[in-house]
Amino acid sequence: MCGIVGYIGKENPISILIQGLKDLEYRGYDSAGIALKNKDNIQIIKSIGKITNLQEKCQNTNLISSNIGIAHTRWATHGAPSKINAHPHKVGKTTIVHNGIIENAALLKEQLVKEGIKFNSDTDTEVIAALINKYYKNDPIKAIEKATSELVGSYALAILFDDKEKLYAIRKDSPLIVGIKDNAFFVASDITAIINYTKNYVLLEENEIAEMTQNHISYYYQDKEITKKVLTADIKSEAKDKNGYEHYMLKEIMEEPLILENTLKPYLKNLDLLPNLKDYEEIHIVACGSAMYAGMVGKTLLEERAQVKVFCECASEYRYKNVIYDCKTLVILISQSGETADTIAAMRNAHSKNIDTLAIVNVKTSTIAREAKMHLFIEAGPEIAVATTKAYILQVALMALLAFKIAYDKKIIKDTKILADLQKAPCLIKEILENRKLYLKIAKEIYQSTNIFFIGRKVDYAIALEGSLKLKEVSYIHSEAYQAGELKHGTISLIDEKVPVFAIITDKQIEEKTLSNVEEVKSRGAKVIVITNNKNITNYPDIIYVPKINEFFQSLLVVPTLQLIAYETAKLRGCDIDKPKNLAKSVTVE
């Protein structure tokens, strides 16, 4: 949420900053801005909308010569998306860009206004700039430390001072890394923004400050100089390219077979590489959005096949609940970014009560990856499209594998033969993905609808939730997922011939029940699209058959069909597929 990039070195920073912002655009795209600095001047350029607007504006502006700059792409929190609210914000000698949210901004602003400070924007960021500037008496470290000690909330900041040829960075509860190169330093919300220039980076811990000149970097914590370890990123710079695909979403869906195979390979060879969870009496799965829906697949499998008591809840609720831990409990946190604010808070709450945590996470440098007591990496590589696809399917795969391992360790399942089905899943998914004509045909049938339903029972309901979310977030068609048996308790009043209903039917045990519910909506005029693994279900005009594999892993074969239907539908509607309106990846605010 919001992307930051900064540079100090020998080059003119403009192209580095613009390219960095483009790489971070998935984090927010309401407005963007840039500040360039030289000895005499700070020049700020801002624009509404996408980075290309800012780029155009910079091309048409007489830019100062400079070798220091900071830049920002915004996802609005305080204040509407507008040029005035776009970052950078400058107060007195202090110019900053900010990612995060300051909860006591109103209170601080009231005080600063009383002290005579005039504000131009509605943002919490301008309040931070004013506060740092208030304490700035030629000692940047002291000013940054004093000001940030008064902030309640989250922040990643890149900071310039008019009279210092230096770049400063600090973070708390929002990601920020420092990139290291000979005679140049970078700051970025995410390594992908600077990977073309360097793979060497330093992770700033909470409230550590980096002070950079062209050829030197120092780190401070609580006014004392500290040393930091330089790490090397293991991602390839090509990983962030579209590789010829029209959209990142499509590219990332198409990557699913390969990443699934690579991620699962070591565990399929040696199940003991997975954590031993069989002794936990209760498991709580906590996550947000699609990650929580992956958790719901896990919950069903753990309950049904591994006989574990499981609660699955969205992190924004869980974190504020009076959760009762009265037996040996494990909290599983699922997150692609590892930076989702609510999931982090839920994890920290669990830690404060001495509860074990296991993170299923993609970004290895993230807060959740670093703080959870155990972790499993999903190894999906950078996911750039805002709507998650490849990370989600890997989350489902790892949850299924964990459920299998617990069942096996508890001797509910006697041998590992059924893992052969998981082994062949990548190949089957590849074939499913090749069937794009069918998904396009379905998309053509639904893309003009205003309301769409997804129904299923048990694990099929969990998958329906994700199918519905994927469709609505990228195509902007209202859609809802329902437990198939629950529709008739009210919602069926919305069903008529204009409403397509996707029915997911892969669980043999309750297949007949779901088919009855399908008949109920069909007899009210709904256009039904069935997705099933049972070739004997035939009497519907639109049926997508997926191969039948063991119940533990069956959902993996349904997911790609739903993702591609969402993609094709959004494309027919001319939506901005990789950057749906109002959204941002990595939700670092509550």
Is 585 labeled as catalytic in the residue annotation?
yes
Among residues 109, 134, 172, 585, which one is catalytic?
585
Q: How far is the CB of 535 from ligand F6R (least distance, A)?
A: 31
Stretch that binds ligand F6R, among 148-156, 239-247, 282-290, 510-518 (CB under 6 A): 282-290
Task: Tell me if 569 contacts ligand F6R by CB under 6 A.
Answer: no
For 355, 408, 512, 587, the CA distances from 427, given in Å and listed in that order, are: 39, 25, 29, 33
How far apart, in whole angstroms, are the C-alpha atoms of residue 159 and residue 152? 19
Among 402, 403, 399, 396, residue whose Cα is nearest residue 307: 403
Task: Tell me if 563 contacts ligand F6R by CB under 6 A.
Answer: no
Nearer to ligand F6R, 289 or 560 (CB): 289
Nearer to ligand F6R, 294 or 310 (CB): 294
Task: Tell me if 517 contacts ligand F6R by CB under 6 A.
Answer: no
Q: How far is the CB of 522 from ligand F6R (least distance, A)?
A: 29
Residue 364 sits at the vertex; the CA angle it makes with 263 and 343, to the nearest 5 degrees, is 105
Task: Tell me if 173 contacts ligand F6R by CB under 6 A.
Answer: no
Could you tell me if 466 and 460 are in contact, meaning their C-beta atoms sit under 8 angstroms apart? no
Which pairs count as long-range contacts for 531-540, CB under 8 Å and 24+ apart, including other chains? Answer: 531/502, 531/503, 531/504, 531/505, 531/506, 531/558, 531/561, 531/562, 532/504, 532/505, 532/506, 533/506, 533/557, 534/505, 534/506, 534/508, 537/505, 537/511
Task: Tell me if 298 contacts ligand F6R by CB under 6 A.
Answer: no
Could you tell me if 383 and 391 are in contact, meaning their C-beta atoms sit under 8 angstroms apart? yes
Q: Scanning residues 399 to 458, which ones bind ligand F6R (CB under 6 A)?
A: none
Q: How far is the CB of 470 from ligand F6R (least distance, A)?
A: 6
**Member of 148, 300, 316, 343 binding ligand F6R (CB under 6 A):** 343
How far apart, in whole angstroms, are the C-alpha atoms of residue 113 and residue 560? 54
Nearer to ligand F6R, 189 or 388 (CB): 388
Q: Could you give the maximum distance between any two Cα atoms of the chain, in Å?
A: 78
**Member of 20, 88, 153, 289 binding ligand F6R (CB under 6 A):** 289
**Member of 77, 290, 349, 479 binding ligand F6R (CB under 6 A):** 290
Q: How far is the CB of 466 from ligand F6R (least distance, A)?
A: 8
Task: Tell me if 479 contacts ligand F6R by CB under 6 A.
Answer: no
Task: Tell me if 336 contacts ligand F6R by CB under 6 A.
Answer: yes
Nearer to ligand F6R, 165 or 590 (CB): 590
Task: Tell me if 514 contacts ligand F6R by CB under 6 A.
Answer: no
Nearer to ligand F6R, 471 or 531 (CB): 471
Nearer to ligand F6R, 393 or 526 (CB): 393
Nearer to ligand F6R, 126 or 339 (CB): 339
Which pairs count as long-range contacts for 361-365, CB under 8 Å and 24+ apart, including other chains? Answer: 361/333, 361/334, 361/335, 361/336, 362/335, 362/336, 362/337, 362/338, 362/391, 362/394, 363/190, 363/336, 363/337, 363/338, 363/339, 364/338, 365/175, 365/177, 365/191, 365/203, 365/231, 365/233, 365/338
Task: Tell me if 533 contacts ligand F6R by CB under 6 A.
Answer: no
Task: Tell me if 387 contacts ligand F6R by CB under 6 A.
Answer: yes
User: For residue 493, with 0-12 CB atoms within 10 Å meaning exposed, 13-18 middle and 19 or more buried, which class applies?
Assistant: exposed
How far apart, in whole angstroms, are the C-alpha atoms of residue 159 and residue 4? 11
Task: Tell me if 337 contacts ligand F6R by CB under 6 A.
Answer: yes
Could you tell me if 579 and 25 are in contact, meaning their C-beta atoms sit under 8 angstroms apart? yes
How far apart, in whole angstroms, are the C-alpha atoms of residue 452 and residue 494? 10
Stretch that binds ligand F6R, among 63-71, 170-178, 333-341, 537-545 (CB under 6 A): 333-341
Is 314 labeled as catalytic in the residue annotation?
no
Task: Tell me if 487 contacts ligand F6R by CB under 6 A.
Answer: no
Nearer to ligand F6R, 291 or 384 (CB): 291
Structure tokens at 222: 């609580």
- # residues contacting ligand F6R (CB under 6 A): 15
For 16, 70, 74, 189, the CA distances from 21, given in Å and listed in that order, are: 9, 10, 10, 10
Q: How far is the CB of 294 from ligand F6R (least distance, A)?
A: 8
**Member of 105, 195, 288, 549 binding ligand F6R (CB under 6 A):** 288
* List of residues contacting ligand F6R (CB under 6 A): 288-291, 335-337, 340, 343, 387-388, 469, 473, 586-587
**Residues labelled catalytic:** 2, 585
